[in-house]
Every structure is written in structure tokens, then in C-alpha cells.
């Protein structure tokens, strides 16, 4: 049980895919123009991540090492297409606003990274938890950015009611995505540094201090 919570928290906070590991930034920036789109993208990516993690973990023992990447990609692409069809059929408005970004979940590197780093090495249940945890981490990050950008850029949050006049339209355009993401990541990094500085890291090689994969390397070193 302790391990389950640890895996989930790891995905949500400690190794948050977007804010700490800095992977999957493309959908993070592209689909956060409004909070509704961000929720749709977050849920779609979480679904694909969890399902592909389960299947990959199920077949991890029969897949030869040489063809594992093509097999992973086929599985991920299958689930992405499933999501694409379902959204097109039952949420046409969402399909219109997300457009090509749903098929692009295939190349979302969070999903392939978790398949390779976690699901292909752990049992089905833990892979499910990891998928949910990482998905939740992505969901929280993209919805947070979506709310910030929609609030500043179109003065609305989750509805069409304008909260104030003359919003900064640049925030819902691509430059605004970079600005908002930069500020959010800076704040997260500041908090992270504050927290980790209390526990001095001793046996790290030089130049590892600012690295985003530091915690992962530490784990490997301790083993």
C-alpha cells in the first residue's frame, strides 16, 4: 500500500512530467488556451497513458527487447485513435477546438517515456497507478496553465462570462503560452529548490545540481 501511494505521489508531484521533468511540453503549451480545452486534453492524455501502461505491462514478458519500441508505439497509437473517435462522436465541440492535437498524443513523450521507464519493468497494478499518477500530474499542470491563460487572455474561466474588460489577448496566443509556462515553472523550481536545499545532496557528481533528472540519478546511484 505504501508503495502504491509512493508511485502515485511520484507522478503527481516529485517527478511531475511537465513541471519537474520538462517532457510533454508541446501539448502543455498548445492546448492550454482555454481551461475547457486543457481539461479535455488532460483527460485524453491520462486515458491513453493509463491504458497503454496497463497493456504494455501485461505483455512485457512476451515482447522481445528488439521490437519493444514499435510495439509500444502501435499500442499508444491504437488508444489515441480510440480517444479520437470517441471525442469526435460524443464531444464534437471539443473535437473542433482540440483539432489535430488529439492525434498528436501519439508522439507525446510522457506516454512513451512511462512505457519504457516504468510499465515495461513493473507489474500491471503498479503500472496502472503510475499511469494515473503521471496523468494526474499532467492534468494538474495543463489545467493550471489553462486557467491562468484563459483568465488573463480572455477574462473568463470555464464559462463565457467576462470577469473584467480589456483582457491581454497575447496570453491566449503562442507567446503568452511561453510567458505563462515560464513563470509557472520558475515558481515551481523555486519551491523545489527551497525544499531540496534543506536536505543537502552529498554524493552527486559536479554539474548535477540544476539537472531535472537529478532525483532519478540519485535513485540509481543509491541502488
Partner 1 sequence: MNNTLKMVLVLFFVCLFSAVSLSFLYVKTKPQIEQNKILKEVKFKKQIVPLAEKFEVSQVNNITVEKCYDHENNLVGFLLKSSCRGYAGEIEYIISVSTFFPLQITGIKVITHKETPGLGSNVTKEKFLSQFLNRTSTEIILKKDNINGKIDTISGATITSRAITNSVRNLLENEILNNFVKETIEPKIQSPKKVFKTQQKIYISTQTVNSIQEQ
Residues at the interface with partner 1 (CB under 8 A): 59, 62-64, 66-67, 70-71, 74-75, 77-78, 81-82, 85-86, 88-90, 92, 99-100
Q: Minimum CB separation from partner 1 for residue 141, in Å?
A: 22
Report, in Å, the least distance between residue 118 CB and partner 1.
Answer: 19
CB of 19 within 8 A of CB of 141?
Answer: yes
Q: How far is the CB of 117 from partner 1 (least distance, A)?
A: 20
The neighbour count for residue 169, using CB atoms within 10 Å, is 12
Cβ-based neighbours of 45, under 8 Å, separated by 6 or more = 24, 27, 105, 108, 110, 111, 135, 138, 139
Which is closer to partner 1, CB of 9 or CB of 73? 73
- The nearer residue to partner 1, 12 or 83, going by C-beta atoms, is 83
Residue number, 70 or 182, with CB nearest to partner 1: 70
Please state the closest distance from residue 7 (CB atom) to partner 1, in A: 26
Do 12 and 129 touch, CB atoms closer than 8 A?
Answer: no
CA gap 4, 126 in Å, rounded: 7
How many angstroms separate the CA atoms of 127 and 125, rounded? 5
Residue closer to partner 1 (CB basis): 92 or 207: 92
Amino acid at each position: 500500500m505504501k508503495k502504491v501511494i509512493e508511485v502515485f505521489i511520484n507522478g503527481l508531484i516529485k517527478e511531475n512530467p511537465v513541471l519537474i521533468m520538462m517532457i510533454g511540453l508541446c501539448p502543455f503549451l498548445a492546448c492550454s488556451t482555454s481551461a475547457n480545452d486543457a481539461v479535455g486534453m488532460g483527460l485524453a492524455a491520462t486515458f491513453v497513458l493509463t491504458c497503454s501502461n496497463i497493456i504494455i505491462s501485461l505483455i512485457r514478458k512476451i515482447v522481445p527487447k528488439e521490437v519493444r519500441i514499435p510495439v509500444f508505439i502501435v499500442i499508444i497509437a491504437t488508444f489515441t485513435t480510440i480517444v479520437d473517435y470517441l471525442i469526435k462522436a460524443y464531444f464534437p465541440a471539443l473535437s473542433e477546438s482540440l483539432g489535430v492535437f488529439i492525434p498528436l498524443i501519439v508522439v507525446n513523450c510522457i506516454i512513451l517515456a512511462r512505457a519504457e521507464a516504468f510499465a515495461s519493468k513493473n507489474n500491471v497494478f503498479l503500472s496502472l497507478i503510475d499511469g494515473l499518477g503521471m496523468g494526474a500530474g499532467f492534468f494538474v499542470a495543463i489545467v493550471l496553465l489553462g486557467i491562468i491563460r484563459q483568465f488573463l487572455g480572455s477574462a473568463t474561466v470555464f464559462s463565457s462570462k467576462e470577469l473584467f474588460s480589456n483582457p491581454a489577448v497575447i496570453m491566449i496566443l503562442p507567446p503568452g503560452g511561453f510567458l505563462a509556462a515560464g513563470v509557472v515553472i520558475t515558481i515551481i523550481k523555486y519551491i523545489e529548490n527551497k525544499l531540496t536545499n534543506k536536505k543537502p545532496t552529498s554524493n552527486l557528481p559536479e554539474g548535477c545540481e540544476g539537472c531535472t533528472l537529478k532525483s532519478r540519478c540519485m535513485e540509481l546511484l543509491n541502488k
